[in-house]
Structure 1
Amino acid sequence: MADVAASIGVGQLLNVDGKLALLGPNGVVSAVADVGLLTGGEGSDVLSVVTGTVGSLLGLGGDDILNGGPGDDTLDGGSGNDKIYGGPGNDQLFGRTGDDTIEGGPGDDQLYGGQGSDLISGQDGNDVIYGGDGQADPTDAADIIDGGAGNDSIFANGGNDTVYGGAGRDLIFGGVGDDTLYGGTGPGDVTDEADVIVGGEGSDTIYGNAGDDLIFGGTGFVNPEDTADVIFGGLGNDTIYGNGGADRIFGNEGNDILIGGKGDDILTGGSGADRFVTFAGDNANTILDFNAAEGDRLDFAGQAFNAIATSAGTQVVFEDGGSLLLVGVSGFSYDFFA
């Protein structure tokens, strides 16, 4: 293992067999050759890879700044409010405890926010991002996550998180909490590709943005314990499942498929030829803009029903007690079916 040149702000640097440990309250270390492990102290350290490769940077205590090099680095902030920058390469970045800022840089990175309210950006590459310590972490605080360019997989975990998938075909899981999830870069994104977005537990607000998206308000195809979500499909031919709870679903533009699921849902297809699906066991759903002339169609999944004219429109009552109100629709025709 080669020697290392380093500049020290405060504290001492210990070099044993290519493993560096920073002794003292605070320090600045810049590695310019190959090192297996560079470890900070309990203070607020700055650890950087300038040239060569460092297998791992470990911040330990304090509010550290870790800068990865051009290789495939492992950066671990430890405790404290750390700033972690992976740089080029396929890096693994761990925030651990504290409110951390983590940026993957170019490459296919794995980013873990850990505990605390973290700001996480995957940037370029096909990244895997966790708001907490891992996919099933329900105790994480509120994070802000941006996948950046590339086909990313994002697991927000616990907390009331805000997630931006960014450009590319992204897979987004909101997890536990009342999350705000965007398939693209934000509300006005019209260039996003097809995403899969799963709100998870909690009352989520979901924007599919552009592309032919698959969106679930809950945790998957069947989730009766989900609470009320608000879902916007955006541009594209989207398929949207509200799951449990009293959801509000907007297909927006495109030929969308809307499935309210359990709960008293309000569905608005928007422009395009939309398909509204009602399964046995669904509650009292309402469609605000059914327009057969525009190509909208109904799918009752084989259920027996009666259609009744009311002052608000046509009320469809199913044999299991569920119902569907077609607001403003006078009369009923079998031409309404898909």
Structure 2
Amino acid sequence: MSAAVTRYNSASNVSASGQEAVDSLLHGKFWSSDGAPRKPLELTYSFVSPEYEHVTTHWQEGLALDPSFITDGLRSSIAGIFKQIEDFTRLSFTEKKGGGEPGRILIGASKTMDEAALLDAAAYAEFPDTNDIAGSVWFNPWYNTVRTDGSPGSQLHLTAMHEIGHTLGLKHTHDESEIDKDNFPVTQEYDSVAYSVMSYKPMIGGEDTGGFKSTPLTYMLNDMAALQYLYGKNMTTRTGDNRYDFAGKTYVYETIWDAGGNDTVSWSGRDTSANIDLTPGTLSFFGGVDTKSDPAAWDKDSGILGIAYDTHIENAEGGNGHDILRGNDGNNLLQGGRGNDLLEGRGGADHLTGGAGADVFVWRDIAHSGPETAERDTVHDFSPADHDRLDFSALDANTGMQGHQALTFSDQTPRPFSLWYKSDDTGLTVFADTSGDTREDFSVRLNGVTTLSAENLILDTARVTAIPPDNPVREDTIPHNEGVEGAVYKSNFATGPVTITLGMNEPTPVLVNGVQVAEIIDYNHLAGGAFDDHLTGNDLNNIFRSSGGHDTIDGQGGCDYMDYGEEQGHIVVTLADGGQSSVVRVNGTDKDTLKNIEAIIGGDGDDRITGNDGNNILLGNAGNDILKGGAGDDALHGGDGDDHLDGGPGNDFLAGGAGKDTVSYASYTDSLDVKLRGETWGTVSIGTGEKDYLHSIEIFVAGSGDDKLRVEQLTSTLSGGAGADTFSYNGSSTSGTIIGGWHQILDFNAAEGDRIDLSHLSQGLLVNHFSNTGPARNAIWAEPLGKDLFLRIEATGDDTPDFSILLQNTSSLSASDFTFS
């Protein structure tokens, strides 16, 4: 490790801001040189390439790295994410290459993340801290089986933004904060990726998590606010007069940070409606969607735009639909375009142009358009002939009285608590008195109009009418986004057999009894109905859900899953090789026929699931399951229950889950080098070739070689099989890895050369002899228990046994059967 490179290691505690949008995202620490937030700071980052593999696995034992996952395109996309953060904060990022010590933020892919997630987590990241592995991001190749570049708009790009957010100190919106554990899970109002990429929910108010069909291109409103609270604001970004024109964009889901200038947001030329709000810290919506809309229903003319807190956009342009344009406290220029539009300038001296159509101009506060020329709003194209109207219904005519009093129209005669106008050669000015002194408290200028009537006004809330919607969002048409696996398409409506053959980036017909009843685009998750359905996937990763009939499923390309998670019976299946078919049986009865399926998700029963010669993912779920991987590099996860896992040939990943789980290598003749590490990934090295990874395994069965079985967990049951086996127990007084534990050896045989190794105890643990006379300090002694021996180990020097080993069918031992520390 190069001494010339110093890794940035200082993380400081952060205090709450008092703003929910910010505090709901703060985990508790941030990177800092002196503990003070919002200062310029340079951070380095590195990708886990071969030059950094050794130091990374040294820092975190048990990592199974997959460098091939980090494609050149993904590197470029992640660099773009860092550049995006530089745009709105005072952080700067530099990639560290060339070996030695890697950058502060370490980005890689590991098939052994901290949890045995397999399909449950796309990635994992560490918060800022002072340890070596803090600030690291680990993608899960089991979850992201298709290698993509993570381009903006894809699920992988959202995942990368989310995890990098963690590395900088942002938590999930729904999690407690280390700052205040009671107050800062976010309220439902903000719990959506529309406000923060740290949320799990695609839409406001929804209970569903995941299933994102549309994903943000940038960090969103609350993300920017929280990161700026930690790392300051970049006030040099886009200080000129910028035009944010979405007319040519096919995808809008982003937040703008703009530090200055006279700027414009435009939906000009689009045929769908825009709902644009220029207030800093708000969302704008296009195409009739809002925060409660399912993003899966968006089409190319829909989307969400955030305007960051402290970003001031001056101008907005609508399109050809029925638009809603709202300004902010500055001097705004709002132009509606075609359609029946609603324009509201709010504070400042605003200029409003409705364009063609019957437009409504709205004022909700007398302070929004003052009586003097310099603070007065101007409407440039008010047209009674086009049925334009001025909406003053929210103005209180008499602020001195309780309740809301509507203004009355007094034509051209000033009267108390009324509204009147004065004409001139170029137009007219509308005035209002709300104090009862007939003085002008409010005014609006209308250019090109010389007369006004009551029909042109809305003075009473009873006369307020809604703008009619246009172009409702199509619920069965979904745009394609690279890497996104969409929501499940369910066929439970069908009155007969369903046939679906998924296309690639093109409409797919849904047939019922051979007749087309619907058309879908890019649904990669399918569920049949009550009949015998035929469901065929495409070259992406597809998930098929078990349904009522005897279905025929063909996954085609990609890594495809068959999900029996809702089945209550016993599932038995052996996946066939080479595109051949296999039959799934449930409770002894034929259920489905599968072809080109690589992954099986079991149900609640005692399942028997066997893979093929490919790389399989087998999940047992509840029940006492038997999972066998076969050849290939497989991932097996038992789930709840007492499961039995056998990876077979290949480099396998075997996770037991809850229950008392068994891994068997009984058929192996090569020597095994085993580490059992409980809920941290351990390893099995097989001869000089294969290497498997283990998680949450309580029972280990070895083969006939001379095996070394090392235990670093609280309980274990070991079978060494034939050969000279070594049973090694590792731990320390501080980690407590084995202290208080209870272990078993099923077949200890001193005549074959078996040994118990206590030489690797460390940090305050010491066993230096075998006691024939019973309990002794720093010793091991045996107590008969029927046909077995119960070994007691005292390693801390206090005459109290610290852990125990039961040797089954063993009558005697001697000091030569042990290796001492």
| 1:134 corresponds to which of 223, 233, 252 | 223
* Deviation string, structure 1 residues 183-215 (Cα, Å, up to 9, x no partner): xxx756626x6665443449x9x9976558899
Aligned partner of 1:37 in structure 2 is none
Matched residue of 2:357: which SS?
Answer: coil
Contact 1:209 1:235 in 2 (8 A): no
Taking structure 1 as the reference length, the TM-score comes to 0.55
Residue 96 of structure 2 corresponds to residue 8 of structure 1? no
Aligned partner of 2:124 in structure 1 is 56
Q: Percent identity?
A: 21
Describe the shift of the 1:306–1:178 C-alpha distance in structure 2 as closer, same or farther (beyond 3 A).
same
Describe the shift of the 1:263–1:18 C-alpha distance in structure 2 as closer, same or farther (beyond 3 A).
same
Matched residue of 1:94: which SS?
Answer: helix
CA deviation after TM superposition for structure 1 residue 161, in Å: 11
Q: Distance in 2 between matches of 1:18 and 1:260?
A: 60
CA deviation after TM superposition for structure 1 residue 217, in Å: 11
* Deviation string, structure 1 residues 219-277 (Cα, Å, up to 9, x no partner): 99xxxx99672111223212222232211111111111111222211110011100112
Q: After the TM superposition, which residues 35-50 of structure 1 pair with which residues of structure 2 at under 5 Å, given as runs?
A: 41-42=102-103, 47-48=108-109
Task: Extract unaligned runs of 5+ from structure 2.
Answer: 1-47, 71-100, 113-117, 146-150, 169-192, 199-211, 292-303, 371-375, 394-405, 408-417, 434-439, 459-821
Aligned partner of 2:431 in structure 1 is 317
Aligned partner of 2:622 in structure 1 is none
* Deviation string, structure 1 residues 147-203 (Cα, Å, up to 9, x no partner): xxxxxxxxxxxxx99697966796x66578449686xxx756626x6665443449x
Q: Distance in 2 between matches of 1:297 and 1:201?
A: 27
Q: Distance in 2 between matches of 1:291 and 1:217?
A: 32
CA deviation after TM superposition for structure 1 residue 292, in Å: 0.9
Residue 143 of structure 2 corresponds to residue 71 of structure 1? yes
Contact 1:312 1:327 in 2 (8 A): yes
Aligned partner of 2:422 in structure 1 is 308
Q: After the TM superposition, which residues 248-267 of structure 1 pair with which residues of structure 2 at under 5 Å, given as runs?
A: 248-267=333-352
Higher helix share: 2
Matched residue of 1:134: which SS?
Answer: helix
Matched residue of 2:67: which SS?
Answer: strand
Contact 2:125 2:137 in 1 (8 A): no
Q: After the TM superposition, which residues 187-226 of structure 1 pair with which residues of structure 2 at under 5 Å, given as runs?
A: 190=270, 197-201=276-280, 211=288
Aligned partner of 2:382 in structure 1 is 290
Letter of the 1:136 partner, please give it: A
Q: After the TM superposition, which residues 116-265 of structure 1 pair with which residues of structure 2 at under 5 Å, given as runs?
A: 125-127=213-215, 129-130=218-219, 134=223, 136-137=225-226, 138=228, 139-141=232-234, 174=256, 177-178=259-260, 190=270, 197-201=276-280, 211=288, 229-265=314-350
Q: Which moved more, 1:12-21 or 1:233-242?
A: 12-21
Q: Distance in 1 between matches of 2:153 and 2:275?
A: 27
Q: Distance in 1 between matches of 2:140 and 2:245?
A: 24
Contact 1:211 1:235 in 2 (8 A): no
Contact 1:162 1:181 in 2 (8 A): yes
Aligned partner of 2:67 in structure 1 is 29
CA deviation after TM superposition for structure 1 residue 29, in Å: 3.0
Letter of the 1:332 partner, please give it: L
Q: Distance in 1 between matches of 2:220 and 2:457?
A: 43
Describe the shift of the 1:143–1:17 C-alpha distance in structure 2 as closer, same or farther (beyond 3 A).
farther
Letter of the 2:379 partner, please give it: I
Describe the shift of the 1:292–1:217 C-alpha distance in structure 2 as closer, same or farther (beyond 3 A).
farther
Q: Distance in 2 between matches of 1:248 and 1:278?
A: 15
* Deviation string, structure 1 residues 52-80 (Cα, Å, up to 9, x no partner): 7774367989xx9987646279xxxxxxx
* Deviation string, structure 1 residues 296-330 (Cα, Å, up to 9, x no partner): 11222233222111122111121152211111112
Q: Distance in 1 between matches of 2:306 and 2:50?
A: 51
Matched residue of 1:308: which SS?
Answer: strand
Q: Distance in 2 between matches of 1:48 and 1:231?
A: 43
Q: Distance in 2 between matches of 1:9 and 1:29?
A: 11
Describe the shift of the 1:213–1:270 C-alpha distance in structure 2 as closer, same or farther (beyond 3 A).
farther
Taking structure 2 as the reference length, the TM-score comes to 0.26
Aligned partner of 1:268 in structure 2 is 353
Task: Extract unaligned runs of 5+ from structure 1.
Answer: 1-5, 22-27, 33-39, 74-82, 98-107, 113-123, 145-159
Aligned partner of 1:154 in structure 2 is none
CA deviation after TM superposition for structure 1 residue 331, in Å: 1.9
Letter of the 2:432 partner, please give it: F
Higher strand share: 1
Contact 2:273 2:322 in 1 (8 A): no
Describe the shift of the 1:46–1:337 C-alpha distance in structure 2 as closer, same or farther (beyond 3 A).
closer
Aligned partner of 2:446 in structure 1 is 326
Q: Distance in 2 between matches of 1:169 and 1:65?
A: 27
* Deviation string, structure 1 residues 82-133 (Cα, Å, up to 9, x no partner): x999765973331667xxxxxxxxxx89747xxxxxxxxxxx7333552588
CA deviation after TM superposition for structure 1 residue 334, in Å: 1.9
Matched residue of 2:325: which SS?
Answer: strand
Aligned partner of 1:119 in structure 2 is none
Contact 1:190 1:209 in 2 (8 A): no
Contact 1:297 1:337 in 2 (8 A): yes
Describe the shift of the 1:259–1:328 C-alpha distance in structure 2 as closer, same or farther (beyond 3 A).
same
Q: Distance in 1 between matches of 2:308 and 2:137?
A: 36
Describe the shift of the 1:69–1:198 C-alpha distance in structure 2 as closer, same or farther (beyond 3 A).
farther
CA deviation after TM superposition for structure 1 residue 289, in Å: 0.3
Describe the shift of the 1:86–1:18 C-alpha distance in structure 2 as closer, same or farther (beyond 3 A).
farther
Describe the shift of the 1:85–1:11 C-alpha distance in structure 2 as closer, same or farther (beyond 3 A).
farther
Residue 63 of structure 2 corresponds to residue 19 of structure 1? yes
Q: Distance in 1 between matches of 2:391 and 2:255?
A: 28
Describe the shift of the 1:213–1:229 C-alpha distance in structure 2 as closer, same or farther (beyond 3 A).
farther
Q: Distance in 1 between matches of 2:357 and 2:447?
A: 18
Matched residue of 2:455: which SS?
Answer: helix
Describe the shift of the 1:256–1:217 C-alpha distance in structure 2 as closer, same or farther (beyond 3 A).
farther
Q: Distance in 1 between matches of 2:255 and 2:222?
A: 14
Describe the shift of the 1:84–1:317 C-alpha distance in structure 2 as closer, same or farther (beyond 3 A).
closer
Aligned partner of 1:35 in structure 2 is none
Q: Distance in 1 between matches of 2:258 and 2:64?
A: 39
Describe the shift of the 1:163–1:252 C-alpha distance in structure 2 as closer, same or farther (beyond 3 A).
closer
Q: Distance in 1 between matches of 2:305 and 2:104?
A: 44
